[in-house]
A and B are shown apart, each in its own frame.
Chain A
Amino acid sequence: MSTQSASTRLSRELIGALVVFALFAGLPVLADAMGDTFVVFFTIRIMVFAIAAVSLSLILGYGAMVSFGHAAYLGLGAYSVAILAEHGIWDVTVSLPVTLAVCGLFALVTGAISLKTRGVYFIMITLAFGQMAYYTATSLSAYGGDDGLTMWGRTEILGSTALGDRTVFYYVVLGCLLTCYLLARMIVASRFGRVLQGAKQSEMRLRAIGIDPYAYRLVAYVIAGMMAGLAGALLANAAEFVSPAYMSWHRSGELIVMVVLGGLGSLLGAIVGAASFLVLEEVLSHFTEHWRLIFGPFLVLVVLFGRGGLISLLPGGRKNG
Chain B
Amino acid sequence: MAEPILALDDLCKAYGALKVTSHVSLDVRPGEIHAVIGPNGAGKTTLIGQISGSLAPDSGRISFDGRDVTSLPMHARAHAGLLRSFQITEILPAFTARENVALALQAREGHSFRFWRNVSRDADLNARADACLAELGLEARAEVPAGTLSHGEKRALELAIAMACEPKLLLLDEPMAGTGREETDRLVEVLRALKGRYAMLLVEHDMSAVFALADRISVLVYGEIVATGTPEEIRDNPRVREAYLGEEAVA
Contact = CB atoms under 8 A, between A and B. Distances in A.
Direct touching of A and B (C-beta under 8 Å): yes
Q: Could you say which of A194, A204, A210, A211 has the most chain B C-beta atoms within 10 Å of its C-beta?
A: A210
Contact of B116 (A186, A201, A205): A186
Contacts of A206: 75, 103, 107
8 A-B pairs with least C-beta separation = A210-B78, A210-B79, A201-B92, A191-B114, A207-B74, A209-B104, A212-B75, A191-B112
B90 A192 contact: no
A192 B115 contact: yes
15 contacts: A2-B96, A2-B143, A189-B119, A190-B116, A191-B112, A195-B112, A197-B92, A197-B95, A201-B95, A205-B91, A206-B107, A209-B78, A209-B161, A210-B108, A219-B113
A321 interface: yes
Interface of B: 52, 54, 73-76, 78-79, 83-84, 86, 90-96, 99, 102-104, 106-108, 112-120, 143-145, 161-162, 164-165
Nearest to A189: B118
A201 B79 CA distance: 21
B99 A194 contact: yes
Given A2-B143, A195-B112, A197-B95, A209 B73 contact: no
A187 B75 contact: no
A197 B120 contact: no
Contact of A202 (B52, B92, B117): B92
A301 interface: no
Contact of A198 (B86, B92, B115, B116): B92
B86 to A, nearest CB: 7
A189 B120 contact: yes
B93 A201 contact: yes
Contacts of B95: 194, 197-198, 201
A208 B86 contact: yes
Q: Could you say which of B95, B145, B164 has the most chain A C-beta atoms within 10 Å of its C-beta?
A: B95
B75 A191 contact: no
Interface of A: 1-3, 6, 186-187, 189-195, 197-198, 201-202, 204-212, 216, 219, 321
B92 A2 contact: no
B119 A194 contact: yes
B84 A208 contact: yes
B165 A210 contact: yes
Given A2-B143, A189-B119, A321-B94, A211 B112 contact: yes
B119 A201 contact: no
A210 B73 CA distance: 10
B165 to A, nearest CB: 5
Contacts of B86: 204, 208
A278 B112 CA distance: 37
B148 to A, nearest CB: 10
Q: Could you say which of A202, A205, A209 has the most chain B C-beta atoms within 10 Å of its C-beta?
A: A209
A201 B94 contact: yes
B90 A191 contact: no
Contact of B143 (A1, A197, A216): A1
Nearest to A187: B115
B74 A194 contact: no
A38 B135 CA distance: 63
Given A3-B143, A192-B114, A205 B106 contact: no
A16 to B, nearest CB: 19
Given A190-B116, A197-B95, A210 B90 contact: no
Contact of A192 (B52, B76, B93, B112): B112
A321 B145 CA distance: 10
Q: Could you say which of B112, B118, B144, B165 has the most chain A C-beta atoms within 10 Å of its C-beta?
A: B112
Nearest to B105: A209
B84 to A, nearest CB: 6
A2 B145 contact: yes
A206 B75 CA distance: 8
A1 B103 CA distance: 22
B83 A192 contact: no
B90 A205 contact: yes
Nearest to A204: B90
A208 B52 contact: yes
A219 B86 CA distance: 29
Given A186-B116, A190-B115, A202 B91 contact: yes
Contacts of B79: 210
A144 B117 CA distance: 45
Given A6-B143, A194-B99, A209-B104, 17 more contacts: A2-B96, A2-B143, A189-B118, A192-B112, A193-B115, A194-B102, A197-B95, A198-B92, A198-B95, A198-B103, A202-B92, A204-B86, A205-B161, A208-B84, A208-B90, A209-B103, A209-B162
